[in-house]
Structure 1
């Protein structure tokens, strides 16, 4: 079967239009007809290039992550002297990014927070796109951990697993907030940020007097 020749300009217009639609309307409410109209192409071209709506969503998510990652300064995370500083710096930086790139942030947050919009099989594909196109928690946490003055009996791998547990808790709280406040922003998440600092503080100091 001959490979379909794709026009790069049309691909860019389709992905840009789908980013607008998926970010503003989420997956279930978005129609391919609207994306085609916004991109000034036929609906047939969209299906010829991307096969179906689900694959178009995955490609749009990948497109957003690639664009976003190309603009993110990960030194904000990597240069922090400890976990508490990393949480504060990263949160302030995320707010700036959200204001500068609202479409990308909205799509990425919705894809993460609204897994119920997808079947289990499709949600697994969404997570695969995230994993292949995002920095892992270990990539961001390990340099900071190595600079900290850890006790001699503490192993880096054990500390990483514990911090990942804390990060999962923060992620679940963020996910719940986003689901309950679809028009909220990171500025509205002060309580979650405070929780994050508390959790990391307990991790750093321990729970005994």
Structure 2
């Protein structure tokens, strides 16, 4: 946190960050205008650069803030899940992440843009920032803890399958489904409630196929 910015009241910090997130998410690093940011925030450009010194520093601070928000909200929501069945647990995680994504759409858009296309002017700094987050929140141990892969250890897996295989494939597919419906939300193809209903139905169909197979069992 930059000291001058940190001295502002929390609600003022949040307002400036919200405006910056909206602008950077919509226009990217290069095309975002600090004139528009300052006009919307009701401050001068001199004050903005007093807080952050440069557009690069501002962008990095905004990206970090967006990542912090998404991680904080995701961790808090997943901690509330009390399902004792692995598939029910992971379904609730996907739905929780989907709701956070929709409620914090600009933060998600900004972070996804940064990960997919790091701006050349700040590429090295952004890649380091992403790498630091991945070391903390995307390690195999952290993912297993969040998704509670240990719930599979007592499940009646059929011969030839192991926990690692099931965990890897199920989490991959469910995250892909979540991204699919995020794109529908982005395109405003359906209202959020309809998107969530469709996502739930597709998750439950997939889980049913995983649990019970695709072919009819011989009698």
The question of a shared fold, defined as TM-score above 0.5 by the shorter chain, is answered with yes
Per the alignment, do residues 171 and 89 of structure 1 end up closer, same or farther by CA in structure 2, a change over 3 Å counting? closer
Which residue of structure 2 aligns with residue 89 of structure 1? Answer: 92
Higher relative contact order (CA 8 A, sep 6+): 1
Cα RMSD (Å) of the superposition?
4.1
Alignment of 1:57-206 (within 5 A): 57-67=59-69, 69-70=71-72, 72-77=76-81, 79-87=82-90, 89-90=92-93, 93=96, 102=103, 105-111=104-110, 118-119=117-118, 125=127, 128=131, 131=134, 134=137, 137-141=143-147, 142-146=149-153, 148-151=155-158, 153-181=160-188, 184-185=191-192, 188-206=195-213
Aligned partners of 1:133 and 1:140: how far apart in 2? 13
Which residue of structure 1 aligns with residue 214 of structure 2? Answer: 207
Q: What's the CA shift string for 1:76-110, capped at 9, x where partnerless?
A: 34x322244235534665677679xx4xx122332
Question: Which has the higher Rg, Structure 1 or Structure 2?
Answer: 2
Aligned partners of 1:200 and 1:69: how far apart in 2? 26
> Normalising by the residue count of structure 2, what TM-score does the alignment of the two structures yield?
0.64
Q: What's the CA shift string for 1:91-132, capped at 9, x where partnerless?
A: 665677679xx4xx122332356579945765x748547636
Per the alignment, do residues 8 and 120 of structure 1 end up closer, same or farther by CA in structure 2, a change over 3 Å counting? closer
Aligned residue pairs total 201
Aligned partners of 1:145 and 1:74: how far apart in 2? 18
Task: Please tell me whether the aligned partners of residues 82 and 147 of structure 1 are also in contact (alpha carbons under 8 angstroms).
Answer: no
Task: Please tell me whether the aligned partners of residues 5 and 52 of structure 2 are also in contact (alpha carbons under 8 angstroms).
Answer: no
Per the alignment, do residues 56 and 139 of structure 1 end up closer, same or farther by CA in structure 2, a change over 3 Å counting? farther
> Normalising by the residue count of structure 1, what TM-score does the alignment of the two structures yield?
0.66
Correspondent of 1:46 among 45, 48, 70: 48
Per the alignment, do residues 98 and 161 of structure 1 end up closer, same or farther by CA in structure 2, a change over 3 Å counting? closer
Deviates more, 1:155-164 or 1:89-98: 89-98
Structure 2 unaligned segments of length 5 or more: list them.
none
Aligned partner of residue 189 in structure 1, secondary structure: helix
Shift of 1:133: 6.7
Q: Does 1:6 align with 2:8?
A: no
Task: Please tell me whether the aligned partners of residues 178 and 184 of structure 1 are also in contact (alpha carbons under 8 angstroms).
Answer: yes
Alignment of 1:19-30 (within 5 A): 19-23=18-22, 26-28=25-27, 30=32
Structure 1 unaligned segments of length 5 or more: list them.
none
